[in-house]
Structure 1
Amino acid sequence: VLTVALLTLVAPVPAAHAATSATRLAGADRYATSATISAATFPRGVDVAYVASGLDYPDALAGAAVAGRQGAPVLLVSPTAVPATVRTELDRLRPGRIVVLGGPGAVGDAILQALKAHTTGQVSRISGDDRYATSARLSASAFGAGVPVAYVASGRDYPDALSGAAAAGSRGAPLLLVPGDRITAEVRAELERLRPGRVVVLGGVGAVSDAVKAELARYGSVSRTAGADRYATSAQVSASTFAAGVPVAYLASGRDFPDALAGAPVAGMSGAPVLLVTPDGVPAAVRTELTRLAPQRVVVLGGPGAVSDAVLAQATGSGEIAKIAATYTPPPASKGAGAAALAWAGTQLGVPYLYGGTGPEGGHTGYDCSGLIMRAYQHAGATVPRTTKQQWAATRRVALADLTPGDIVFWSSDGEPTGIYHDALYAGVDPVTGKHMRLQSPSPGKTVELVPMLETNLLPFGGRIG
């Protein structure tokens, strides 16, 4: 028998903080976006400008921590050309020197020569035999021994390091890359030289293994900052680094890297986080972190194709979920329809999933998610519409902390009702495991099941009938 308890896997969502302003920094492409970010941030005559490939991420990620510490821009180029927008921005900046990040395979020697026309000083290159060695050499070029903290992230993927680069830049700390399952010789040597007070591993064990974490303990106390996914990890990095009341928070796509490459050093020098979002929504963990941070300003990095205007609305508290949270009061208790619907749905365990299905009474051999819920409430004497979004619209809002068995819970791809793609019946708490449960018809190849709640993409409000 499942019991009723307050749902604690997701905290009740407070009214979202309304930032005083929201802006977007974007250009026609990744190169123009990097130039736009630079132009909006840096004055003419900066000491140094960093240049990196816009087609890959490792060199610019490690360089972003250095650039953030030095108050320098990172501008993106192609392997064989300096785009016109970047040339124009370099002419405006007239940096004292230019540093190219990565080897000739990333940024060709011809580009290094072309860059000499845009500075009064030297053009140099920092690179190693691979991305890991390059990160070590970047660290050695900018940080002395005895740094308070060093960050370590996987060099095989970019999401954790995107947020980590801003955190490292704000702390005046290096960002070192590892393959995930070992520490390369050059990175090991750099850690020996740095002797940091502590080491922060970014991302879960799938990104940087526990074996690597254990080996890092040779160089300082070690902790891991990670979330359930790249978005939650970015929120955790922010929460562990930045105090509430930051003047600005930066938002970037978690599905691609170019915009955040140029934005991370700007965020780092501003003492601000980079939080990752989907193209159409602010994930729950990021929404919660934005509420805690209460930034005066939100800056979106990249165009609407990378981060939509809907994300801007959600981040500044003008989305539908934020409006619900601002005026929320718990609804009256169900008159029994929810419990009855859940009890009937429990008799359908093991029935196959069928897209468009409403069960044998509808002439089908199975159910889809909303078909099961519609039929369950029909047996409870209540009328519920057919589709997930219709079921959202037809129910009274109930916060996750106020759920009772039989209430409907919803999952959304964009953090708003517009992105709802799945729903299930909340089934209370398993008294053995203490986990909150849901009864659902999940997906093709599966059957009606009773399983633990899934936090990813779960909306902070459900629906109540009767």
Structure 2
Amino acid sequence: MFSTDNTRRGRRSVVALVLAGAAVLTAGGSAAAGTPVTAHRTYGADRYATAAYLENYASRDTAYIVTGEKFADGVTAGALAGQPGSNLFLTSRGQLPDAVRKVIGYYRNVVVVGGADVVSADVVTWLQQNTRARITRVEGRDRYETATRLSATAFSPGVSNVLVATGLDYADALSASAVAATTGVPVLTVPGTSIPESTRLELLRLAPQRITVLGGEASVSRDVAVDLQQFTGGPVERIYGDDRYQTAVAVSKRFFGPGVPFVQLASGTSWPDAIAAGAKAGRNASPLLLTPRSCVPQFVNLEIERLRTRDLQAVGGDASYSQAAAKRTSCEAGPKTYLDELAAPTGNARFLGGNVTMAGVFYPRTVAFSTYAPTNSSQELPNGEYRTWSLGAKRSRFTTVVGIADGTTSGLRSRVQVYGDERPLGTYEVSVGNPAVIDLDVRGVDNLKVVTTSSARSASDEDGATVFLGDAAVN
């Protein structure tokens, strides 16, 4: 079991992002406002410009320059580039990209990570001729030794923790970079089934109070975890999930509590964007969560809700991070056309958009009917609230989960009726904890109408007077 201490440090100021998207709805009658349904996306023309866009231009002390062609140096450098005043830039082997050249002159220190085989002498020469920075190169005989030498430049013996991940893949180490930067500890990598001599020597020097292994036994073997025990007087913990996405969530749960200022999203299969995103997350004392390119798994969406952040950023253009994923479209939902993508509906309902959790399931693409009308006392609402969508007789099925948000305390109940061209298609009774699944044949239907008739609602709280249609869509 992992200890429950929260190692997140509130040691950085955060510049709030302006988030695009639908109105934000709360997840309960008395809960705080929910997280933004849409993530603000940041990306450039290529991986080099994207990393440069993530720079914290308000604090330029040390720039870490790593190859943008291989992942190994970047995942360990991210732990240092996520420190206050530091930033991470990617480069091609032979020439510093224009996006980096434009800003690198503002830095007092530049650390080139890796040997001349990954960042050439020509890059260093350009830096020497065009900046006033103190330039150093940190390199080892391999990726593992490079990681140890980076650690030696920044950490003294007695560190509180060392994060250990495989150096043969990038996903687990990406999650480590944000945590390491936030908590001020190094990231070291191993081949998976052994501990390199350079890593052993650095662990002896660091004498950590504990060691945390990221990833399952397929990534860092049980024997390696046992061997690591000799380097610390504290525990050797392991944090992992069934895949890279669940591992990132497990890391977030272990090290970050609700109320983080920022959550960074990146594709779990696009390491260049994720390397820069991890450093950015670290500078904001916040986690990095990984998702597939085109959707967000349910457990990642639920983790975002647990974190209760107000600033949500996704890194990458359409090729690496789609707009659907930025909208937190659930991977479990499958391909469909959401009602929020159709023309605005007509009707008398106070109509809202946002997200909701019902019966423990998170629905990111949600429309909602509010029956709220300010009065001084509770009242019955015998008449229905309705909205009508034009389908143009071009759709085959209408699917949604309709219900009341978890945590609603108003006692709201609602009868939900669905009509196709004024012909009744289905009637459903819903209450807190008892949503209804709707799956209806709408072939030939021109106008789809949804009517909610609600009762026992709160007279003073709109949160307690809202009926949600989770992931409402047509096929």
Shorter chain as denominator, the TM-score bin is 0.5 to 0.7
Q: Which secondary structure state, in structure 2, belongs to the residue aligned with residue 69 of structure 1?
A: coil
Rounded Cα–Cα distance in structure 2 between residues aligned with 1:222 and 1:329: 36
Q: How does 1:52-451 map to 2 (within 5 A)?
A: 52-91=66-105, 94-220=106-232, 221-314=235-328, 326=356, 328=358, 393=398
Note if contact 1:250-1:300 (Cα within 8 Å) is conserved in structure 2: yes
- Aligned partner letter, 1:17: G
Q: Give the aligned length.
A: 324
Q: Which secondary structure state, in structure 1, belongs to the residue aligned with residue 238 of structure 2?
A: strand
Q: Which secondary structure state, in structure 2, belongs to the residue aligned with residue 152 of structure 1?
A: strand
Which stretch shifts more, 113-122 or 240-249?
Answer: 113-122
- Partner residue in 2 for 1:24: 41
Rounded Cα–Cα distance in structure 2 between residues aligned with 1:100 and 1:395: 52
Which stretch shifts more, 304-313 or 244-253?
Answer: 304-313
Question: What's the RMSD between the two structures over aligned residues?
Answer: 3.0
Q: Relative to 1, partners in 2 of residues 1:21 and 1:113: Cα closer, same or farther, differing over 3 Å?
A: same
TM-score, scaled relative to structure 1: 0.64
Rounded Cα–Cα distance in structure 1 between residues aligned with 2:311 and 2:471: 30
Q: CA deviation at 1:219?
A: 1.6
Deviations along 1:131-164, whole A, 9 cap, x unmatched?
0000011001100000001100000000011111
Q: CA deviation at 1:303?
A: 1.1
Rounded Cα–Cα distance in structure 1 between residues aligned with 2:185 and 2:204: 15
Note if contact 2:71-2:170 (Cα within 8 Å) is conserved in structure 1: yes
Q: CA deviation at 1:241?
A: 0.8
Note if contact 2:37-2:327 (Cα within 8 Å) is conserved in structure 1: no
Deviations along 1:107-129, whole A, 9 cap, x unmatched?
11111111224431321100100
Rounded Cα–Cα distance in structure 2 between residues aligned with 1:462 and 1:326: 10
Q: Which secondary structure state, in structure 2, belongs to the residue aligned with residue 200 of structure 1?
A: strand
Rounded Cα–Cα distance in structure 1 between residues aligned with 2:37 and 2:401: 31
Q: Relative to 1, partners in 2 of residues 1:394 and 1:96: Cα closer, same or farther, differing over 3 Å?
A: closer
Rounded Cα–Cα distance in structure 1 between residues aligned with 2:324 and 2:471: 21
Rounded Cα–Cα distance in structure 2 between residues aligned with 1:462 and 1:179: 43
Question: What runs of 5+ residues in structure 1 fail to find an aligned partner?
Answer: 1-13, 331-388, 402-460
Question: What runs of 5+ residues in structure 2 fail to find an aligned partner?
Answer: 1-26, 331-337, 341-351, 361-394, 407-469
Rounded Cα–Cα distance in structure 2 between residues aligned with 1:165 and 1:259: 13
Q: Relative to 1, partners in 2 of residues 1:213 and 1:83: Cα closer, same or farther, differing over 3 Å?
A: same
Q: Which secondary structure state, in structure 2, belongs to the residue aligned with residue 314 of structure 1?
A: coil
Q: Relative to 1, partners in 2 of residues 1:303 and 1:70: Cα closer, same or farther, differing over 3 Å?
A: same
Q: Which has the higher helix share?
A: 1
Note if contact 1:49-1:74 (Cα within 8 Å) is conserved in structure 2: yes
- Partner residue in 2 for 1:36: 53
Deviations along 1:145-201, whole A, 9 cap, x unmatched?
000011000000000111111111100000001001110000010000101111110
Note if contact 1:95-1:118 (Cα within 8 Å) is conserved in structure 2: no
Q: Which secondary structure state, in structure 2, belongs to the residue aligned with residue 103 of structure 1?
A: coil
Q: Which secondary structure state, in structure 2, belongs to the residue aligned with residue 151 of structure 1?
A: strand
Q: Which secondary structure state, in structure 2, belongs to the residue aligned with residue 276 of structure 1?
A: strand
Q: CA deviation at 1:398?
A: 9.7
Q: CA deviation at 1:47?
A: 1.9
Q: Which secondary structure state, in structure 2, belongs to the residue aligned with residue 201 of structure 1?
A: strand
- Percent identity for Structure 1 against Structure 2: 36
Q: CA deviation at 1:304?
A: 2.1
Q: Which secondary structure state, in structure 2, belongs to the residue aligned with residue 114 of structure 1?
A: helix
Rounded Cα–Cα distance in structure 2 between residues aligned with 1:201 and 1:209: 10
Which stretch shifts more, 149-158 or 283-292?
Answer: 283-292
- Aligned partner letter, 2:146: T
- Aligned partner letter, 1:104: A
Q: Which secondary structure state, in structure 1, belongs to the residue aligned with residue 236 of structure 2?
A: strand
- Partner residue in 2 for 1:407: none
Q: Which secondary structure state, in structure 1, belongs to the residue aligned with residue 231 of structure 2?
A: coil
Q: Relative to 1, partners in 2 of residues 1:271 and 1:394: Cα closer, same or farther, differing over 3 Å?
A: closer
Rounded Cα–Cα distance in structure 2 between residues aligned with 1:66 and 1:240: 21
- Aligned partner letter, 1:217: Q
Note if contact 1:98-1:119 (Cα within 8 Å) is conserved in structure 2: no
Note if contact 2:38-2:328 (Cα within 8 Å) is conserved in structure 1: no
Q: Which has the higher strand share?
A: 2
Deviations along 1:88-111, whole A, 9 cap, x unmatched?
1213xx110210011111111111
Q: Which secondary structure state, in structure 2, belongs to the residue aligned with residue 165 of structure 1?
A: helix
Rounded Cα–Cα distance in structure 1 between residues aligned with 2:355 and 2:62: 46
Rounded Cα–Cα distance in structure 1 between residues aligned with 2:339 and 2:182: 33
Deviations along 1:220-255, whole A, 9 cap, x unmatched?
210111011000111111111111111110000101
Q: CA deviation at 1:284?
A: 1.9
Rounded Cα–Cα distance in structure 1 between residues aligned with 2:324 and 2:399: 23
Q: Relative to 1, partners in 2 of residues 1:395 and 1:111: Cα closer, same or farther, differing over 3 Å?
A: closer
Q: CA deviation at 1:261?
A: 1.4
TM-score, scaled relative to structure 2: 0.63
